[in-house]
Amino acid sequence: MARNEQLIRQHKLLQILEAYRFGKTIEELKTELVESLGLGTLHVRTLHRDLLALQAAGVDVDVHETGDRKVWKFGPRARNSVKITASATELIALSMSRDLLYPLAGTPFWQGIESFWQKLQEELPPGVRKHYQEYRQTLYVRGMPAKSYQKQHGMLATIHRAILEHRVLEIEYQPPGKDPQKRKIEPYAVVFYNSSLYILAAAHEIPEGQDRIRHLKLDRFLSTDDTNASFKIPADFNLEEHLGQGTGIFSGDKPLNFKVRITARGARWVTEDPWHPDQQVEAQPNGGIILTVKAAHELEIIPRILALGTEGELLSPESSRKKLAALLRQAANQYE
């Protein structure tokens, strides 16, 4: 069993026990865990081990007899042992992070953020709350898209369950300008990028050893169904290394080196907002730079060069340079 699955179950157990003052039987706990986490199965022995693990970690939880029932519930030490404290500066940082994550509204992630935020608000001393409220009036988060994933709540729950249980999903997916497609995927993770959610998954029909990884935007999912088939994530797959290969969220086989000549004026913009942490910058005598950056797909780079206008020129790869030239000719014809 994966370690993170056990931690998720135990964390949810704590939330359930906190919500029910008079406790729950182990069967009731099992039912609520299965429903809230969307689990396929859960054995009572597994749940009992989780409760014992919480006890071993020092949580005041134990079984009590009430009439003909045996219920698990918190003891007095559990309810008074944890107090949430925060400074005004910590509150400001947290509230700005909350604003940045607003596109997650309606998802289980946002529910967790809101639940924690409310608990924190209730525990704050009046002076800290007043200082935070005054300071927060001077800081704003702008530029966020007017979107949320509330409508995809059910699909996201199915995907999350499939990730935890390593289950193959059959999805209906509609890329822009194309008809809906039926696909089978092996979901690895949910990625939050530029205020959108992407499902990082392997294409089930492609044999191992080939380029199987896909980044599928959740906005384009029409349906998700569990196939009851299971899969294994390759032992050599590293999510952080995979995502660090490019400047964006496009999936590709191997990242390519893109070389861009940028004028002295344009160089200021690129140094202010780097395209990638590992980009290489070669200074030129005229004050410009030659930028070398890796990307998994040319569409991660071409829009950035177009945004530079005449301040940037793609030098290589040659195939991407030709594609960019064709796009510019089409644009010029459109505006003539």
Residue 199's domain is classified under what CATH number? 2.30.30
243 assigned to some structural domain = no
* pLDDT at residue 77 in the model: 67
Rounded Cα–Cα distance for residues 128 and 85 (Å) = 10
In a domain, 132, yes or no: yes
In a domain, 250, yes or no: no
What pLDDT, on the 0 to 100 scale, is given for residue 223? 94
User: Would you say residue 298 lies in a domain?
Assistant: yes
Is 67 a domain residue? yes
Residue 225's DSSP bridge partners are: 170
Q: Are residues 330 and 278 in the same domain?
A: yes
Domain boundary among 238, 269, 284: 238
Q: What is the extent of the structural domain holding 203? A: 150-238
Predicted pLDDT at 168: 95
Distance CA 275, CA 307 (A): 13
Could you tell me if residue 87 is inside a domain? no
CATH number, position 64: 1.10.10.10
- CATH label of the domain that carries residue 263: 3.30.70
Domains identified in the chain, total number: 4
Residue 263's nearest CA partner among 283, 280, 278, 293 is 283
pLDDT tens for each residue of 189-216: 998 888 888 999 999 998 887 888 899 9
Q: Which residue has the tokens 């020129």?
A: 313
Q: Write out residues in the chain with pLDDT < 50, as ranges.
A: 1, 81
pLDDT of residue 188: 93
Residue 245 domain flag? no
Predicted local confidence at residue 299, as pLDDT? 84
Residues 269 and 296 in one domain: yes
> Cα–Cα distance between 219 and 226 in angstroms, integer?
19
